[in-house]
Amino acid sequence: MKIVIVGCGKVGYTVAGQLAKEKHNVTVIDLNRKNIDRVTNEFDVYGVIGNGVSSAVLEEADISSAELFLALTGNDELNLVCCLVARKAGGCKTIARIHNPIYAEELNVLKNELGLAMIVNSELMAATEIARILRSPSAKKIETFAKGRVEILKYRLPENSDLCNIQIKNITSKLKIEMLIAAVERGEEVIIPNGDFELEAGDVISVVTVSKKANQMLKKAGLTNSRISNVMIIGGGGISFYLTKMLMSMGIRTTIVEKNYDKCESLSETLDGAMIIHGDAISEGVLFEEGVKDTDAFIALTNIDETNILLSLFAKKNSNAKLITKVHTLSYDDVIDNMDLDTIICPKNIVGENIIRYARALENSKGSNVETLYNIIEGKAEALEFIIKKDSAVIGKSLMELQLKDGIIIACISHGRVIEIPNGKSVIREGDSVVVVTTRKGLNDITDILA
């Protein structure tokens, strides 16, 4: 698919790289030559130096043949104008990045009135993901499929878990619970397990479950903990603003610690009911005074990765809180994983994943039957949702009859409103939605799973 991106900052760079890896034909536009050189040297994309509002620049980027246009600069108004010009010049689908909270209540109006295919707001998307995590606080990450009716939840197995030292095929008989473990992270290795695989303490498992039954099943497996009732957030930026509004609507007491006095005043005016503390969280005295030892969740959302990591390590040492840490880059993800900081949030990656899912949906209308895509283990494993079309080779056969390639597991089958966590006797039918978890790349059709 031909895709044009305006803006090669942190978000644009990340999205361009993710789309290039998906084998899309990507052209990037930016006024800064260094930004263009960086992204074109790193990825297989074409670069144009110029203003994305200019018709001449868009023509050089071949906007007339583009199917998707992304305006991802740091200027909301510029992004909206770029999308308007691109639609007129090329007639393509357009996506605009909007991050200013002042537009938060008007996103649907802007989308409809300007004919946008999607609005992406990295701060709002990150806040939504954090709020979802806090509903199942023992999970490291949660992804949803089948219109929210199926979840993939990631957990690290504690030493005392009943799942330790048990073969996956024996979980149902020994623990009296039905659960499908789609992937296991052990050290740097990612495994799509078979029934003979034995779980160990410290493994990070990706569990597939029906959303309505998740709490009951996870409680039996000993993977849930108590409800979150109070949260401490460090940093008063956009994510904190959106997240606090969500948490207050859930009845969760929220404290924000922010060192900038003007930001504190602004937050106090807009977040009635939240506790806004003016102070520097790097000072351990401030954290102790504001109750870090007793907080149920500690969320580090400053603009500096190293500060967030340091603060989370401090909270880990001095509390039993659920830890959520924002980082701008996952370049050192192996190092971060070894710190065991519960959940890591990378806003620009969240934006990229949402855009990729939309691009997949566009391709679906042209023949690919991938409905959604989630990068459940960064760069190592994906979960893909396929819609089964007429005459597919997988229709009418039980899973035990299908010869699957290595590194692939069928994690869920949705027969309309009926969700099935499959076993060997399960049968796929036309129109079903099927979730596949794999360590393989480049699956575009459900038949690509067959050996």
Query: Which DSSP helix (H) or strand (E) runs through 34?
Result: helix 33-42
Last residue of a domain, one of 173, 190, 220: 220
pLDDT given at position 360: 74
The number of folded domains in the chain is 4
Same domain membership, residue 336 and residue 443: no
User: Which residues fall within 8 angstroms of residue 290, CB to CB, at 6 or more apart?
Assistant: 232, 255, 257, 277, 279
As a whole number, the mean pLDDT across the chain is: 86
User: Could you tell me if 110 and 350 are in contact, meaning their C-beta atoms sit under 8 angstroms apart?
Assistant: no
pLDDT over 90 (residue 403): no
* Lowest pLDDT segment from 32-46, 116-130, 363-377: 363-377
Same domain membership, residue 238 and residue 192: no
pLDDT band at residue 331 using 50, 70 and 90 as cut-offs: low
Same domain membership, residue 238 and residue 338: yes
Residue 128 resides in a domain:
no
Q: Please give the Cα distance from 149 to 136 (Å, whole number).
A: 15
Please give the share of the chain, as a percent, with pLDDT higher than 90.
41
Q: Please give the Cα distance from 24 to 17 (Å, whole number).
A: 10
Tokens of 393: 């080779």
pLDDT given at position 97: 92
pLDDT band at residue 340 using 50, 70 and 90 as cut-offs: confident
Residue 375 resides in a domain:
yes
pLDDT given at position 335: 67
Same domain membership, residue 114 and residue 67: yes
pLDDT over 80 (residue 418): yes
pLDDT given at position 239: 94
Mean pLDDT within 93-99: 91
* Lowest pLDDT segment from 98-102, 148-152, 310-314: 148-152
Domain holding 185: CATH number? 3.30.70.1450
Q: Which residue has the higher pLDDT, 293 or 349?
A: 293
Residue 115 resides in a domain:
yes
Last residue of a domain, one of 168, 199, 220: 220
Q: Please give the Cα distance from 198 to 167 (Å, whole number).
A: 4
pLDDT band at residue 237 using 50, 70 and 90 as cut-offs: very high
pLDDT given at position 180: 85
- Residues spanned by the domain of 397: 363-449
Q: Which residue has the higher pLDDT, 302 or 136?
A: 302
pLDDT over 90 (residue 256): yes
pLDDT band at residue 144 using 50, 70 and 90 as cut-offs: confident
Residue 385 resides in a domain:
yes
Residue 137 resides in a domain:
no
Residue 129 resides in a domain:
no
pLDDT band at residue 113 using 50, 70 and 90 as cut-offs: confident
Q: How far is CA 50 from the centre of its chain?
A: 31
User: Could you tell me if 153 and 206 are in contact, meaning their C-beta atoms sit under 8 angstroms apart?
Assistant: yes
Give me the torsion for CA of 48, 49, 50, 53, rounded to 10°.
Answer: 30
Tokens of 214: 């998740």
pLDDT over 70 (residue 270): yes
Same domain membership, residue 261 and residue 215: no
Residue 153 resides in a domain:
yes
Same domain membership, residue 378 and residue 338: no
Q: What is the DSSP-derived secondary structure letter of residue 213?
A: G
Residue with tokens 């409103």: 417
User: Could you tell me if 376 and 382 are in contact, meaning their C-beta atoms sit under 8 angstroms apart?
Assistant: yes
User: Which residues fall within 8 angstroms of residue 183, CB to CB, at 6 or more apart?
Assistant: 190, 191, 192, 193, 205, 206, 376, 377, 381, 409, 437, 439
Domain holding 20: CATH number? 3.40.50.720
Same domain membership, residue 58 and residue 17: yes
Same domain membership, residue 276 and residue 194: no
Q: Which residue has the higher pLDDT, 212 or 241?
A: 241
Last residue of a domain, one of 220, 239, 265: 220
Q: Please give the Cα distance from 141 to 153 (Å, whole number).
A: 6
Same domain membership, residue 339 and residue 236: yes
Length of the chain: 451
Count of Cβ atoms closer than 10 Å to residue 163 Cβ: 24
Same domain membership, residue 106 and residue 184: no
Mean pLDDT within 176-202: 86
pLDDT over 60 (residue 367): no
pLDDT digits (tens, 9 = 90+) for 19-52: 898 788 999 999 999 999 999 999 999 999 999 9
pLDDT over 90 (residue 69): yes
pLDDT over 80 (residue 217): no
Q: In what order do the strands lie in the sheet with 297-300?
A: 275-278, 253-258, 230-234, 297-300, 322-326, 343-345
Specify the pairing of strand 408-415 against strand 418-420: antiparallel
Residue 43 resides in a domain:
yes
Same domain membership, residue 187 and residue 161: yes
Same domain membership, residue 103 and residue 18: yes
Residue with tokens 């039918």: 429
pLDDT over 70 (residue 225): no
